[in-house]
Amino acid sequence: MSEFLQSPLTRLVLFIICIAIAGTVVAGAHYYTIELPAQQSLQAPTNGDSCTNECYTDYMNSLNENCKGLKNYAGCGTPYWLTYQTCEYECNHNMR
């Protein structure tokens, strides 16, 4: 039997089986420690919360009041858009 185990093909097959078992163990450990869905504590960002809606409403009101009758909202609305972006950033990062 020792001659059978000394065959290069047999040793190659045993090596491949050992590598496969080790890979399975490492992959299982990775799954249970990192990727297991039940253990993830990340929360998805909320879009459309009341703070962001308030920012958008303020932006639209400012745009309608100050750029009324203008065909080019882009030029007139730029400062209000920047204010809206700042407001939204603060909402999403709980700075308000």
24-68 pLDDT, tens digit per residue, is 999 999 888 877 765 555 555 555 566 767 777 777 777 677 776
The tokens describing 78, both together, are 């730029």
* CA gap 23, 64 in Å, rounded: 62
How high is the pLDDT of residue 24?
97
Q: Are the C-beta atoms of 63 and 77 separated by less than 8 Å? A: yes
Confidence tier at 79 by pLDDT (50, 70, 90): confident
Share of the chain above pLDDT 70, in %: 65
Tokens 């297991």 belong to residue = 36
Which has more confidence, 1 or 30?
A: 30
* CA gap 51, 66 in Å, rounded: 22
Cα(first)–Cα(last) distance of the chain, in Å?
76
